[in-house]
Amino acid sequence: RLQRFCPLATATLMSAISVGPRGMVRAGESVHRRPRTCQSCHGGTCLGTLRRLRGGIDILAKSDNWVRKFANYSWTQDPHELHIYTPIDESVTSKLVAINLTEKNVEIKAGNHTCLSGDFDQRVKPRNFQWEIIPFRGKRHLKVSVRKKDTNSQMFDWQYLLAKEREALDTTITHQVFMDISLGDMLLGQVVVGLFGKMCPKEVRNFVELAESNVFIPKGGTPLPGTPDGKGGTITEDQVVYRKGGYRNSSFYMMDFLSINGGDVLEDTGNAGYSIYGRDFDVDRAVMRMDEDWLLCMQAFDGKLDSRFFFTGREPLEWISGRHVVIGK
């Protein structure tokens, strides 16, 4: 089935995995390596989105550098450890730091201030933790690293750090967007998108305004603001030619056999995009699990929402939960 959509991905994966008993897939070191561009996958994004094979196990990257931010703390993870970042004042020294850990609970104090307190979403190893004071994203932070207790953590990552992140999800539909879908001149039907405006207001506002197609965006093929100009500087706003546009008359793409992408408002190729806030913008929302089909997601990398496209899955896409932001369904 994979060979039908991308022969190059099949050839690469066959050299990286082996099939064990009962068809279980064993991941190799080069599963996510893409040696050359695959023309049949619109620029070679097939291996970047492929995280799971039917009938097998989840295939995850070695590290997850996507920074999740919730309230006043941030966190990342790798296959074995969690890394928690809490901002602290310049006056805080190491003698004022107090960290109390159990398998299910964490409390981090800096002087008289409680930086973080709550129950973990899963269990950790309380005796195996380290901490240090470091600069993080331009500010002084206390970094605490603690090992996961789950022996399968190298395959299944955490979706939430604390249980209160899961409880904070509000999937109330505040906006509806109606999209008429056509193939050439033939109208296929209408898709109704419900958006979770209380959970992620910034992302929903971006989607709604682009759907109304009244946003001023750079013309396709023109340099974007902030990109290098080749002379040692960057492109400024006054050098960019803008037009009024949005999602209207943009195309949808099948990136693999489960996900459908859309929203390229710049070039309509699936490789570019823009938001009402610029090229991309910071994500600071709780991340919802992608455990249902037809959830609407915006692509996010390294704590920023990438404006290239939105996507939805014909089946639950749990193996990429936590990496992208669910904004509706």
Q: Is the pLDDT reported for residue 278 higher than 70?
A: yes
pLDDT at 134: 93
| Pick from 115, 144, 124, 116: nearest CA to 132 | 144
Within 10 angstroms of residue 293's Cβ, the number of other Cβ atoms is 13
Predicted TM-score of the model (pTM): 0.59
Within 10 angstroms of residue 19's Cβ, the number of other Cβ atoms is 13
Instruction: Specify which residues 328 forms β-bridges with.
Output: 195, 296
Mention every residue, 6+ apart, whose C-beta is less than 8 A from residue 221.
267
| 170 three-class SS | coil
Q: Name the residue with higher pLDDT: 322 or 107.
A: 107
| Pick from 303, 277, 247: nearest CA to 85 | 303
Mention every residue, 6+ apart, whose C-beta is less than 8 A from residue 271.
42, 43, 264, 308
Confidence of residue 302 (pLDDT cuts 50, 70, 90): low
pLDDT at 15: 45
Q: How far is CA 162 from the centre of its chain?
A: 18
Longest CA–CA span in the chain (Å) reads: 70
Both structure tokens of 311: 């996507």
Lowest average pLDDT, out of 43-47, 265-269, 296-300, goes to 43-47
> How confident is the model over 211-257, as pLDDT tens digits?
998 888 888 767 777 777 777 778 777 778 788 888 988 888 887 76
Mention every residue, 6+ apart, whose C-beta is less than 8 A from residue 183.
none
Lowest average pLDDT, out of 99-103, 278-282, 285-289, 308-312, goes to 285-289
Within 10 angstroms of residue 102's Cβ, the number of other Cβ atoms is 12
Rounded distance between C-alpha atoms, residue 52 and residue 156, angstroms: 12
> Rounded mean pLDDT of 74-102?
90
> Rounded mean pLDDT of 303-324?
76
pLDDT at 36: 35
CB–CB of 65/110 below 8 Å? no
pLDDT at 194: 94
Q: Name the residue with higher pLDDT: 167 or 206.
A: 206
| Pick from 253, 250, 245: nearest CA to 219 | 245
> Rounded mean pLDDT of 130-136?
92
Question: In three state form, how does the secondary structure of 143-159 look?
Answer: EEEEEECCCCCCCCCCC
Percent of the chain residues topping a pLDDT of 90: 26
**DSSP state for residue 2 in the 8-state scheme:** H
Q: What mean pLDDT is reported for the chain?
A: 75
Tokens 């399968």 sit at which residue? 152
For the chain, give percent helix, strand, coil, nearest 5: 15, 40, 45
Spatial strand order of the sheet with 124-136 comes to 64-70, 73-77, 81-87, 139-148, 124-136
Both structure tokens of 25: 């897939």
Confidence of residue 116 (pLDDT cuts 50, 70, 90): very high
CA distances from residue 141 to 75, 107, 193, 266 in whole angstroms, order as listed: 12, 16, 39, 38
pLDDT at 175: 93
Q: What is the DSSP string of 181-242?
A: EEETTEEEEEEEEEE-TTT-HHHHHHHHHHHTT-EEEEPTTSPPTTSB-SSSSB--GGGSPE
Rounded distance between C-alpha atoms, residue 247 and residue 180, angstroms: 11
Confidence of residue 322 (pLDDT cuts 50, 70, 90): low
> How confident is the model over 153-203, as pLDDT tens digits?
444 578 788 988 877 778 889 999 999 999 888 999 999 999 998 888 888
